[in-house]
Amino acid sequence: MNKIKLMYDVAKTMKEKEVFIGSLEIGGQKDQIEFFSLNNEFEKNLLSGQVKFKIKTALDLDGKQVKHESSSELTLQNCCGGKHRHLRKHFHHHCDDGDTNCCCTGLKGKLSALMYLLRLIDDLKIEELENKALALSLNIDEIPEELMNHMHGNFQCCMSDEEPQGHHQCMKDLMTMEKPNITFNMRLNEDRAVERIFITIKGKQKDQWDNFHEISLKAELNLKW
């Protein structure tokens, strides 16, 4: 099976979708203690701009627990402009054109990322299931240092000082893992639409006292068609 053609078909199918209904669950652990969880049930109509979501989050930072639950329904108009344009501007506000670790990397950085992406596609394993569905799996045990530096730079550039400090700490824990191991699983239906994505990330983090901590993250996305 041509893996590049398959990825093209998946992207084309998802691009043609007008309504997305599903759920996203994320959980993070540090030394086997859950420090972050998120559950988001959502529905988005790309034609009307109508968005519905119900979010539950929980943080546990050094014994301090914070929980939040909310649900909203709104209509987004001109989603390519307006507030989104301001968000993009804000995300790039901290970028220094001379900083190769920031969002605005040069041509060599983009080509390196493209080469790595193509290598991952080549390593992708595909299993045929019933009803012409497909199961895709990938294990990533090595991320080039250049790409890791780029990801860290994006994190520093894009995180707003206005964001809650708890979220800053959670993202910092995840982004400072050493040699993370990532497993990726995806299920496609017969129309090559994504039904499920499940990702696990595990690694070690060294704190300021040179103590190592086990960090793990699980994320699951389910879509209904």
Per-residue model confidence as pLDDT tens digits over 169-206: 556 666 677 788 999 999 999 999 999 999 999 999 88
Report the C-alpha gap between 214 and 179 in whole angstroms: 12
Q: What are phi and psi of 93, to 5 degrees?
A: -65, -40
Structural domains in the chain (count): 1
Residue 63 φ/ψ region, left for φ over 0, alpha for ψ in the -120 to 50 degree band, beta for the rest: left
Domain range for 37 is 3-224
Give the gyration radius of the chain's Cα atoms. 19
pTM: 0.78
- Give me the amino acid identity at 154: N
pLDDT digits (tens, 9 = 90+) for 38-69: 999 999 999 999 999 999 999 987 778 889 99
Name every residue whose Cβ is closer than 8 Å to that of residue 72 and which is 6 or more positions away in sequence: 51, 52, 53
